[in-house]
A and B are shown apart, each in its own frame.
Chain A
Amino acid sequence: MSSEMFPEDLSIYADCLSKRYEIYAQPADRLKQMLLPRLLRAVGGGEQKYFREFWALRDVSFSVMRGETVGIIGRNGSGKSTLLQMVCSTLHPTKGSVRVRGRIAALLELGAGFNREFTGRENVYLSGLLYGIPEGELRKRFKAIVDFADIGNFIDQPVKTYSSGMYVRLAFAIAAHVDADTLIIDEALSVGDVRFTQKCMRYLREFQQRGTLLFVSHDTTAVINLCSRVIWLDSGRMIMDGAAREVVEQYLAAQHAADRKSLGENVALGPVASKGRSTAKSDVGDHGVPTDIVDSRMGILNGTAMRNLVEVFEFDAVNINSEFGAGALRIQDVRLREESGAICHMAHGGELVDLEIEARVFEPVKSPIFGFFVKDRLGQRLFGDNTYVSYLDEPIEGEPGEKLLARFRFRMPILPTGDYSIDVAVATGTQDDHTQQHWIHDALTFKARESTMRHGLVGIPMHAIGIERIEGGE
């Protein structure tokens, strides 16, 4: 490493970094590739390749200043891991170069440096030595590492007996205690429980004050929260490198466009049923005939335990699991009301409910679209709707500071027993080209109990149920 070419305040410098994976049919071909072309050249023969090639990364150049936090986003297979591996120098660039100042600690994969047969204690020492920490120093830090990892007596068990959570906790604890100048985190935090994730985030925020952080995550909210700058990779090329919010916004927009293309209209703000302008007249269909359908059994079931009970848990704006969006509008409250207007804690399958989504406007918006999805335990989208068509002709505009309320009135379907959640979102634009301003996964959760339904995803109300004797016996 020539340090005279490397300014003091630069932490990572990548120049035209490219990686070509050479895919060999058999290991011996790699040896041939190493020896034969050189021999053939020497005797003036032609070139021959013994591999198929795949470019995982092409001409990526960037530099990271000391103390900067840079996020890297991109879909699976976009070259993020390859890039990180080259920064950590576990992979050789095919072309270009990358230089890094100081000690790097990397959490690329769950405790990949661990020897599975060794105990946690032994792995702490081994990893520490690999990071170049002297043994005496390690002994001093050992307690701090174990405290951070919080895995109790498991520290003296072979790591092969660890759960994946314990694995990553120990790995993170070690990486946090090696005085790294640069820390590289690749999706590792998603495995731990909430408490540990919080601890890691606290540590990362503290680390940001003194070190360089490279952070890879699919959780764009976390990326925006943590990083000042984001690099977006796609198919091995750098698409964007800039301010975090800007890049993430573009990235999500591209993601949505791609999703819609590949999955038809079922994703994002999906198909729009014909619905009146206001919820007040929505009970009346095109022909003036009441279209609302009540299950014929309601009368019988309502008094019994067989009634489909739906228990709703409140929206908690502080503890949102996961959200994303550009942020021109932010959803501030989501609630379910009974027909009477009271906040609904217990709904019954078949009853009318109002889903209300309240959002504050932060930047001027034209034609906001509100939407929701009801998902089952497995994340399958059962049904959902949006306001797009309803306001097609007379779009509502929003000015900063205003608050908008969207209301969807529908009959709570009869649901099989289980856990459900509702995703809510607000977007701007049109059905085909929109930007998600705020999407909250699992904004409301609810449980369905005592269902008459056993099979299927959603029960529909039965107009009539009956058995007739149509032919007499002997």
Chain B
Amino acid sequence: MFSAYRLIDPTSPYRSLCRHFALIWQMAKRDVVGRYRGAFIGLLWSFFNPLLMLIIYTFVFGYIFKSRWVGLTGGHVSFAVILFAGLNINAMFSECVTRAATLIVENPNYVKKVVFPLDTLPWSTLGSALFHLIVSTVVLLAISVSANGYIHWTVVLFPIVMLCFIPFLVGTMWLFASLGVFLRDLKQAVGIITTALMFLAPIMYPRTMIPTQYQSLMLLNPLTVIVESSQDVLVWGRQPQWGLLGLYLLCSCLFAWLAFAWFERSRKGFADVL
């Protein structure tokens, strides 16, 4: 029963998504609704949260630091929008990874007491993160419309960009969820990793602003391609760099496959240390 997935099959990471979709959906739904249960304005938090963050970032970087985005016209609001496009990606990554590190540790019953498809836990976490990303994106588009009066047709390409991002995210979660069981320090390190990746991605500044010799180095940051592609389709109204995105998708899938294989191998050890 354990080796129901054949690890040499590169589509194996997505098998459980199909097989347990109803379960994943329920868990994700519960996660979204449950997070704000008891809060006065409830689900509205997922709307206000990004909005308030956006105001703070715009104030700090736009007004105080007077950051300017090369080639961008339209003042603070435009700056806010492009900042927002990148921050959303980082927020999603950060939510996924932070929770991944404790995903298994916090659910020992699922490991020891019941037969639970543990590999679905990252999927449901991803589902709830995706919900928050969608809300944030809607906020972004709304601000865009109110500032410019239109949105670019290229926003329809945004789901494709996300599709390339997802294998990387879920792979990272498998990896961190598994390592988090054995290396309890990981939880502490995650905060630093996500913050570092935020500042080392072209979120608050364009990639062109850094010295040319380091520009391609920045592509090693797994967020870079996705952040730039999101900015392309949501803010600039141009098509993403398909070649780069395609390569990213390839790496992303390869990574997810390896991470999944690792997760499935290492899960046998979970019960021994929980």
- Quick check: which of A122-130, A149-157, A229-237 contacts chain B, the rest being far away? A122-130
Say which residue of A30, A117, A134 sits within 8 Å of B272 (CB atoms).
Answer: A30
How far does the alpha carbon of A115 sit from the alpha carbon of B269 in the complex, in Å? 23
B26 near A27 with CB under 8 A, answer no
B268 cross-chain contacts in A, Cβ below 8 A: 92
Given contacts A28-B183, A90-B115, A129-B26, contact A34 B271 (CB under 8 A): no
A112 near B109 with CB under 8 A, answer yes
Say which residue of A21, A30, A85, A135 sits within 8 Å of B182 (CB atoms).
Answer: A30
A30 cross-chain contacts in B, Cβ below 8 A: 182, 269, 272-273
Please report whether the interface of chain B is mostly helix, strand, loop or mixed according to DSSP. Answer: helix
How far does the alpha carbon of A28 sit from the alpha carbon of B186 in the complex, in Å? 11
How far does the alpha carbon of A108 sit from the alpha carbon of B116 in the complex, in Å? 14
Say which residue of A85, A112, A122 sits within 8 Å of B26 (CB atoms).
Answer: A122
A161 to chain B, nearest CB (A): 14
B266 near A34 with CB under 8 A, answer yes
Given contacts A108-B113, A113-B113, contact A21 B272 (CB under 8 A): yes
**Number of A residues whose C-beta is below 8 Å from B?**
33
Q: Which of B101-132 contact A (CB under 8 A)?
A: 109-117
B3 to chain A, nearest CB (A): 10
How far does the alpha carbon of A134 sit from the alpha carbon of B182 in the complex, in Å? 35
A92 near B182 with CB under 8 A, answer no
A126 near B181 with CB under 8 A, answer no
Which of B22, B26, B34, B116 has the most chain A CB within a 10 Å cutoff? B22
Given contacts A21-B272, A90-B115, A112-B113, contact A122 B30 (CB under 8 A): yes
User: Is B15 close to A, CB under 8 A?
Assistant: no
How far does the alpha carbon of A307 sit from the alpha carbon of B27 in the complex, in Å? 65
A135 near B22 with CB under 8 A, answer yes
B34 near A117 with CB under 8 A, answer yes
How far does the alpha carbon of A280 sit from the alpha carbon of B2 in the complex, in Å? 71
B114 cross-chain contacts in A, Cβ below 8 A: 88, 90, 106, 108, 112-113, 130
User: Is B20 close to A, CB under 8 A?
Assistant: yes
How far does the alpha carbon of A117 sit from the alpha carbon of B272 in the complex, in Å? 26
B1 near A1 with CB under 8 A, answer yes
A27 near B182 with CB under 8 A, answer yes
B147 cross-chain contacts in A, Cβ below 8 A: none
A109 near B22 with CB under 8 A, answer no
How far does the alpha carbon of A106 sit from the alpha carbon of B117 in the complex, in Å? 16
B269 cross-chain contacts in A, Cβ below 8 A: 30-31, 33-34
User: Is B66 close to A, CB under 8 A?
Assistant: no
User: Is B23 close to A, CB under 8 A?
Assistant: yes
* Chain A proximity mask over B167-198: 1 for CB below 8 Å, otherwise 0: 00000000000010111100000000000000
A49 to chain B, nearest CB (A): 13
Given contacts A27-B184, A28-B183, contact A91 B109 (CB under 8 A): no
A254 to chain B, nearest CB (A): 30
**Closest B residue to A92 using CB positions:** B268
A118 near B183 with CB under 8 A, answer no
User: Is A22 close to B, CB under 8 A?
Assistant: yes
How far does the alpha carbon of A112 sit from the alpha carbon of B109 in the complex, in Å? 6
User: Is A62 close to B, CB under 8 A?
Assistant: no
Given contacts A24-B273, A89-B115, contact A134 B22 (CB under 8 A): yes
A33 to chain B, nearest CB (A): 8
**Closest B residue to A32 using CB positions:** B182
Given contacts A92-B271, A109-B113, A113-B109, contact A31 B182 (CB under 8 A): yes
Say which residue of A22, A88, A129 sits within 8 Å of B115 (CB atoms).
Answer: A88
B23 cross-chain contacts in A, Cβ below 8 A: 126, 129-130
B26 near A125 with CB under 8 A, answer yes
Q: Which of A84-137 contact B (CB under 8 A)?
A: 85, 88-92, 104, 106, 108-109, 112-113, 115, 117-118, 122, 125-126, 129-130, 134-135
How far does the alpha carbon of A125 sit from the alpha carbon of B109 in the complex, in Å? 17
How far does the alpha carbon of A1 sit from the alpha carbon of B182 in the complex, in Å? 30
A104 to chain B, nearest CB (A): 8
Given contacts A24-B273, A27-B184, contact A130 B27 (CB under 8 A): no
A412 to chain B, nearest CB (A): 49
A354 to chain B, nearest CB (A): 52
* Chain B proximity mask over A251-270: 1 for CB below 8 Å, otherwise 0: 00000000000000000000
**Closest A residue to B1 using CB positions:** A89
How far does the alpha carbon of A90 sit from the alpha carbon of B110 in the complex, in Å? 9
**Closest B residue to A113 using CB positions:** B114
**Closest A residue to B107 using CB positions:** A115
**Closest A residue to B105 using CB positions:** A27
B22 cross-chain contacts in A, Cβ below 8 A: 129, 134-135
A129 near B30 with CB under 8 A, answer no
Query: Can you list 15 A-B contacts (CB < 8 A)?
Result: A27-B183, A30-B272, A34-B269, A85-B112, A90-B115, A92-B2, A108-B114, A109-B113, A112-B114, A113-B109, A115-B30, A126-B30, A130-B23, A130-B114, A130-B116
Which 9 residue pairs across A and B have the least CB separation, nearest first? A112-B113, A113-B114, A31-B182, A129-B23, A27-B273, A89-B1, A30-B273, A27-B182, A112-B109
Given contacts A24-B273, A31-B269, A88-B114, 14 further A-B contacts (CB under 8 A): A27-B183, A90-B113, A91-B271, A92-B268, A106-B115, A108-B114, A112-B113, A112-B114, A113-B114, A126-B23, A129-B23, A129-B26, A130-B117, A135-B22
**Residue ranges of B at the interface with A (Cβ–Cβ < 8 Å):** 1-2, 20, 22-23, 26-27, 30, 34, 109-117, 179, 181-184, 265-266, 268-269, 271-273
